Structure 1
Amino acid sequence: MRVLGLDVGSKTIGVAISDEMGWTAQGIETIKINEERQQFGLDRLRQLIDEYGVDSIVIGYPKNMNGTIGPRGIASQVFADMLNEQFGLPTILWDERLTTMAAEKMLISADVSRKKRKKVIDKMAAVMILQGYLDSKN
């Protein structure tokens, strides 16, 4: 059971993968996308799905703090539907409130420079989203 975890933004997608047992999440990469031009990195996602033998996808679902769904949450729903249609894999929306902030704090506490944090923040957020999901299943 390999699960792909995604932190989807308007310019990048942070990507994480679970181990084969579904216990731990590991960051893989950050894929550049262009939401305005409808370029969503689907070719690269297909390569990763095939390479790792992924059987489901967890996508961060950014809800507002009061639980309502805003524009980014709707964009995540649309993206999840698109991935389900493209790849035929179950897609799970996972509440990601505060994951980017938590990832940022973790990187700051590890004394990672601002420039380096910018390069890995989305990948770290994907790890936190996926790990939260995996922990809820075990």
Structure 2
Amino acid sequence: MKYVRPWNLFLDLQKAKAAGGGGRLLGLDVGDKYVGLAVSDCHNKIALPLSVLLRKKSTLGLMAEDFQNLALEFSLVGFIVGCPLDTLRKNPGVFQVKRLIDDLCKTEKLEGMKYTYWDECYTSQNIELLLKPLNIHPGHAKTIADKFSAVGILQGYLDYVNRKLTSDQKPLPLLKSSSTK
């Protein structure tokens, strides 16, 4: 796996699509015990909840294989990894996220895949607050929260790159009609 800047990952995605290749993204919400997953639609406009993987050091190889299978199934180009990018204080979550990515890189099962970090902006806490009034069983609520936190991370990234793509496009010049010479 190779780190690329957020905008560069999207440009690579656009190139892959133009060449007729794959072109979807996988969002990851990395937690202590679970990794929530979300996948982009085929147009890379909408993030959709996917699943939750158990995160254990002993099952890291299985997790890498799961990512390989997902890459094939969804024609993935890269991962958007949620990371608390709060620079005002040291956050242990940053080390946890980076450790998982480093460990996945060491498996060498995801060669050719690219990833970038995206600020998770309290997505887990926001989702938990939304779920609280629904009185869902705590075990189910945790897996739902992890999936939808991944959706929030991926959707935030997709909104950013699509808005930037739209604002970077130059307007077409006005055509003069032949009657106005």
- Name the TM-score class by shorter chain: 0.7 to 0.9
Say whether the 8 Å CA contact 1:14–1:125 is kept in structure 2.
yes
Report the secondary structure of 2:60's partner residue: coil
Does 1:107 pair with 2:131? yes
1:9 to 26, 31, 38: 31
CA offset at residue 90 of structure 1? 1.6
**2:61 is the counterpart of 1:61:** no
| Displacement of 1:125 | 0.4
- Aligned CA distance change for structure 1 residues 32 and 137 (closer, same or farther; 3 Å): same
Structure showing greater radius of gyration is 2
TM-score, with structure 2 as normaliser? 0.66
Q: Which structure shows the higher strand fraction?
A: 1
> In structure 1, what is the Cα distance between the partners aligned to 2:119 and 2:103?
19
Residue 58 of structure 1: CA displacement?
0.3
* CA distances 1:94-125 after superposition (whole Å, capped 9, x unpaired): 1113100111122235x251433123111110
Q: Please give the alpha-carbon distance, in whole angstroms, between the structure 2 residues aligned to 1:128 and 1:39.
A: 24
Superposed CA offset, 1:23-63 (max 9, x none): 0000110011214x463611111111111000011001023
Match of 1:125 in 2: 149
User: Is the Cα contact below 8 Å between 1:83 and 1:91 reproduced in 2?
Assistant: no
Change in CA separation of 1:59 and 1:69 when aligned onto 2, cut-off 3 Å: farther
Q: CA deviation at 1:83?
A: 4.3
Matched, 1:90 2:111: no
For 2:141, the aligned partner's letter is R
How does the TM-score come out when normalised to structure 1?
Answer: 0.85
**Residue 3 of structure 1 contacts residue 18 of structure 1 at CA under 8 Å; is this kept in 2?**
yes
Deviation, 1:69, is 4.3
Match of 1:51 among 67, 73, 77: 73
Secondary structure of 1:105's match?
Answer: helix
Report the more deviating stretch, 83-92 or 25-34: 83-92
Cα displacement (A) at 1:79: 2.8
Q: For the aligned residues, what is the CA RMSD?
A: 2.1
The match for 2:168 is none
Distance 2:73 2:103 in 1: 20
Shift of 1:82: 4.5
